[in-house]
Structure 1
Amino acid sequence: MSPDVRFFTPSAPIALDDLVALTGGEVVRRFEVVIARVATLAEADAEAVAFMADRKFAVALAASRAGVVLVPPSAVDLAPAAAVVIVSREPQAAWARVAAHLHPEVVLTPASADAVCEDETVVLEPGVVVGQGARIGRGTRVGANTVIGPGVQIGRDCRIATGVSISFALIGDRVKLYAGARIGEAGFGAAGTAGGPVDVPQLGRVILQDGVTVGANSCIDRGAYGDTVVGENTKIDNLVQIGHNCIIGRNCLLAAHTGISGSVTVGDNVMFGGKAGVGDHLTIGDGARVAGGAGLLADIPPGETWSGYPAKPIRQFLRESVWLARQVNRKKD
């Protein structure tokens, strides 16, 4: 799968020598290849370049169908036999340079209302800017000074407030976005280099399904390569952060100041109390609850309620809290 052409402009494929120049690496296994895209190890094909920066992805590297792999010197023997191997001491940063070259973002060029609105029932308040290729469905109202990026698709009967920005996103029907919401900004991705960290291009999208509500000044980042998805009828309070590649289920409730790190999977009917924090790459089961102020560092099974920092099942947390209070009181006595 290549990045969505509504949001990223495909560049001409590049030959191996040009690819090596971009990466600054060294070829240790050469075949004739032409590279048209970047991809993850799991999704790469013969026209894609992928990278491995950590040995915990050794199995994924060995199974990859990438045409070219960027690896550190210690991982050359782990690379698949059919792939060109380029050695780099900074493989993720090298991959980022290739990604920026092959998949530049579509530049915002304002389009006319007639070109983007489904019919005359769409209302664009003063100062709205809509990029080329965007589409806005029947009965949707867009508040003043909102910016809708190129290629964005917005469904019917949506309510978008003032000062919202939407980019790299597909929005369903009956979605509400309150003032200052930021949908589709780049996720937090950086690669280390000898000269300091560099940004890694974020090539995915945000998908908001039907009936989603996003509160004022909340941020939902687009995926690093795949999508960030918020399921039907999920309600998000003000000042909530959802990181890249998160999958949020249906009918979830996220109270203010909740922060969800990247690549978290949340089931249906999950509730987050205010200021809940969730570490990356975790899974939260259907019907689970994360108490206000909790700091989650482990998966939650379906239906359980966790609290505290680090968060744990609430009964365990309460027992430990009672025991600790008793110890303190004993010392006072």
Structure 2
Amino acid sequence: MPDPRFFEDLGPVPLAELAKLGGAELSDTIAAERLVRAVSILAHAGPDTVTFLADRRHLAGPVGAPGACFVQARDAGVLPEGCVALVTASPQGAYAMAAQRLHRPRAGGSEARATDVEVEEGAVLAAGVVLGAGVKVGRGTRIGANTVIGPGVAIGRDCEIAANVTIGFSLIGDRVRILAGARIGEPGFGATAGPKGLIDVPQLGRVIIQDGVTIGANTTIDRGAFDDTVIGENTKIDNLVQIAHNVRVGRNCVMAAHTGISGSVVIGEGAQFGGRAGVADHVTIGPGARVGAAAGVMKDIPAGETWGGMPARPIRHWLKETAWLARMASRKGAEGKGTGE
């Protein structure tokens, strides 16, 4: 279930309505009036939720007990027992329509400070700070001018949050530093085919920032699509870094400026990233691994290894290839001069 601090529940809704929204056909018309309260991913689904299956490979992992599932016709027979199939050509698009119907982000409000916020003694709020409903700010935390904290956000003690930061859909630990212009908790990038073209997939997760993390100026950390985006303790993130939805970063990691981490990447403890490094989605970076500057990581990196290049590969291989190419280029150039070319 999406965190009620950040999302309003608009259900329950009968399956027949969700099927109509998503252009799906109910496999069991008797279940048309069955009520659904929430959307869920397959692993966490329960009997009062609706999920989707776009790839049979997802059945190899954890599977809950969904009440209903948007699915293509060819996969309707592989659903768990008791799950009603909602047959559609675009399961994820139908799921997105259902999510929009069942959940809505809580409104931020226009007042500088809502009436039900909790600001502990010793916290300092500069001019122009906006606190949404249900916000909690810990003792000794300092928040800079014109920063906006969205509804339900909890910020720990002794944090330093600079000016012009926006934070939403987030739970933040103690001693966290967030520099000017950072954007925490914006919706991750997710789009899919809908009945009339591309539609956004609602992002119903959170951002969890653990103790001692530093986040640089103008860095963006997206909230999860359903699971959380997590930044581990004492991780240090430079300016202008992009971390996408569902990413999980371990403790004591370092990311230099312009690093880009795509969705659902898992990063082990102590990993290091040079400037302008990029990581493709669903990649795992092992503990203690190092990624060279401007490297493009397209596949998993084992623990403790150093990779570089594009596409990234073990650093020794990349350096040898680079040296060989330089020698070949020099030789060709010398041959060309010798023949008068």
Show the counterpart of 1:330.
331
Given the two structures, how large is their TM-score scaled by the length of structure 1?
Answer: 0.95
1:121 paired with 2:122, answer yes
> Quick one: structure 1 residues 100 and 50, their matched pair in 2 at CA, closer, same or farther if it must change by over 3 Å?
same
Q: Determine if contact 1:219/1:242 at 8 Å carries over to the other structure.
A: yes
Q: Determine if contact 1:180/1:216 at 8 Å carries over to the other structure.
A: yes
User: Aligned equivalents of 1:200 and 1:138: distance in 2?
Assistant: 37
Displaced runs of 4+ in structure 1, greater than 6 A?
none
Deviation, 1:76, is 1.8
For 1:138-217, list aligned pairs within 5 A.
138-193=139-194, 195-217=196-218
Show the counterpart of 1:67.
67
Q: Determine if contact 1:285/1:303 at 8 Å carries over to the other structure.
A: yes
User: Aligned equivalents of 2:123 and 2:187: distance in 1?
Assistant: 28
Show the counterpart of 1:243.
244
* Cα distance per residue 1:131-183 (max 9 Å; x no partner): 00010000111111110000000000111001000000000001011000000
Residue ranges of structure 2 left out of the alignment (5+ in a row): 335-341
> Quick one: structure 1 residues 103 and 114, their matched pair in 2 at CA, closer, same or farther if it must change by over 3 Å?
closer
Q: Report the secondary structure of 1:210's partner residue.
A: coil
Q: Report the secondary structure of 1:320's partner residue.
A: helix
Q: Determine if contact 2:23/2:195 at 8 Å carries over to the other structure.
A: no
Q: Report the secondary structure of 1:329's partner residue.
A: helix
* Cα distance per residue 1:205-234 (max 9 Å; x no partner): 000000101000000000000100000110
Q: Report the secondary structure of 2:85's partner residue.
A: strand
Larger Rg: 2
Show the counterpart of 2:339.
none
User: Aligned equivalents of 1:276 and 1:80: distance in 2?
Assistant: 41
Q: Determine if contact 1:288/1:303 at 8 Å carries over to the other structure.
A: yes
Show the counterpart of 1:15.
14
Show the counterpart of 1:24.
23
For 1:220-231, list aligned pairs within 5 A.
220-231=221-232
> Quick one: structure 1 residues 15 and 162, their matched pair in 2 at CA, closer, same or farther if it must change by over 3 Å?
same
Deviation, 1:292, is 0.3
Q: Determine if contact 2:113/2:130 at 8 Å carries over to the other structure.
A: no
* Cα distance per residue 1:250-290 (max 9 Å; x no partner): 11110000000000000111110000000011111111100
Q: Determine if contact 2:114/2:133 at 8 Å carries over to the other structure.
A: no
1:86 paired with 2:96, answer no
Q: Determine if contact 1:277/1:295 at 8 Å carries over to the other structure.
A: yes
Q: Determine if contact 1:30/1:85 at 8 Å carries over to the other structure.
A: no
Given the two structures, how large is their TM-score scaled by the length of structure 2?
Answer: 0.93
Q: Determine if contact 1:117/1:138 at 8 Å carries over to the other structure.
A: no
> Quick one: structure 1 residues 162 and 173, their matched pair in 2 at CA, closer, same or farther if it must change by over 3 Å?
same
* Cα distance per residue 1:87-123 (max 9 Å; x no partner): 1112111111111111111111247477424334111
Query: In the alignment, residue 27 of structure 2 is paired with which amino acid?
Result: V
Show the counterpart of 1:294.
295
For 1:232-311, list aligned pairs within 5 A.
232-311=233-312
User: Aligned equivalents of 2:295 and 2:10: distance in 1?
Assistant: 45
Q: Determine if contact 2:278/2:295 at 8 Å carries over to the other structure.
A: yes
User: Aligned equivalents of 1:249 and 1:329: distance in 2?
Assistant: 44
Deviation, 1:329, is 1.6
User: Aligned equivalents of 1:245 and 1:96: distance in 2?
Assistant: 17
Identical-pair percentage: 54
> Quick one: structure 1 residues 49 and 194, their matched pair in 2 at CA, closer, same or farther if it must change by over 3 Å?
closer
> Quick one: structure 1 residues 174 and 101, their matched pair in 2 at CA, closer, same or farther if it must change by over 3 Å?
same
User: Aligned equivalents of 1:79 and 1:101: distance in 2?
Assistant: 23
User: Aligned equivalents of 2:257 and 2:19: distance in 1?
Assistant: 46
Query: In the alignment, residue 19 of structure 2 is paired with which amino acid?
Result: V
Q: Which moves more between the two structures, 186-195 or 121-130?
A: 186-195
Q: Which moves more between the two structures, 15-24 or 266-275?
A: 15-24
1:4 paired with 2:16, answer no
Quote the RMSD (CA, aligned, Å).
1.6
Show the counterpart of 2:106.
106
Deviation, 1:248, is 0.3
User: Aligned equivalents of 1:11 and 1:3: distance in 2?
Assistant: 12
Q: Report the secondary structure of 1:104's partner residue.
A: strand
Query: In the alignment, residue 162 of structure 2 is paired with which amino acid?
Result: A
Query: In the alignment, residue 20 of structure 2 is paired with which amino acid?
Result: A
Q: Determine if contact 1:267/1:284 at 8 Å carries over to the other structure.
A: yes
Count of aligned positions: 331
